[in-house]
Structure 1
């Protein structure tokens, strides 16, 4: 008679992805979850909220906490985003620092690693070498050695150093497997099938902002904020033909920025609406009527009252 096979204990817990702006944190979160829960853009500081993506596996449940990029703040918004990250990573089981392979490790990376090293001992540190699809094998090898050297220099004992490409899908499953093993034993923390704990209104606002970020000038991305004022099913529609009505405002800081976002005869805003509508329809699983308007909130990134109004 054969012995029954002992199943490994189920594990669950929180992993915070941290790193400089544009280090690939949101793209990696989406790749691990298997669907879009965080917006992405090539503009730095795209992420402004803490987004939780939930990965369900037979051996465990991984709750990924995607955070804004840590940077030298130039505004009150920047200070608050940095505070948000540092408050978040004290409450997790694993801190995973993202080091993009297509860039050399710099002072910003070092500062983040130093802060991670000051966290309580029970929090494990993982290094993720992101964007391997943008680097040669030689560059990846040098990058991994630089991460190892940084750890030795700062006295960090990396639990893992993992190279991944979120875009190509290389080693994403391996990373999930390794992260699960670092979590404490425990039951699932979220119901099966739930992929994020972000309210739909927040995700919708972020999808609109993602569409608005595409193709704008370098100085404008930081000035755009989006608030969903109203979101509800249209009444008097048959059950098999639902329609979601969404009314949202895009806020900018100056009149000249308003003109850029709206575009010639409203062409740019119309384009933003069309792109956002497709993403929101996919998210909600139903057709969407999207009504967008642009408002000015003067210097909102530096104004505590305006920041509160916009949810920061």
Structure 2
């Protein structure tokens, strides 16, 4: 193979062909698409996705996307289904069968059993005259003009179109159900996404003995000791009723150094920053991050019902994986 071979040109050609296939796919978002969505939305069971070869790989992704956006679904391999896995299906389920040709033998073998059980069938094929298209209760067409493969053989444009049609189904159902970010978080508890959507300020804040707090009549020296002891770079200042009066931070200390103030005699209440930024313990930790970024501050005091209950800083959010 010559060193001058233009890989980039071929890559761009593939992208252009597949983009054109997706553009043409919109014509198949029609009455059949709406019927399929309505059928799935009324389903009392699960969506069972099936496909062989590359269609099977795409089917796994479609099943995963449906499940994570509020439509219970999983993938069943047609070959395994013929040897016992068909027992996973229930008459309340819907089968979404995928095959570009619409003639996948392993799926066609299962259709009499699926029909006998009264399970609804949605097929997704590139051939509206195919066996799978004719036997389905609803057919979703995914025809493409050409594969990106120069031999027009390897599934490329067709699998891209199939994946996009699956995404269209999942998102249409998601929006119809009013699926929220909180609902999404419940199915994504792991990783950074789950932490951003589920963690609340109460989960990451310092409270109780770990909360830096000192009375407003204490000296600056005492406040500095509290800041150092708790290691948050700040301390809350409270009055006799334990109500929040203000905050004293590392930044406040730096500003004091130029004023030659007696840290042993001066009350912290005289030099604290009044009206500090606060947040409720029940809001999402991601909202705390947003507030700190907007205010360009590194810490927040947590207040519920006008009472100080906690404190946190950027490092807490970093450790929790919110950032």
Please, what TM-score do these two structures have when normalized by structure 1? 0.20
Query: Could you say which structure has the higher helix fraction?
Result: 2
Instruction: Point out which structure has higher relative CO (alpha carbons under 8 A, 6+ apart).
Output: 1
**Structure 2 length-normalised TM:** 0.19
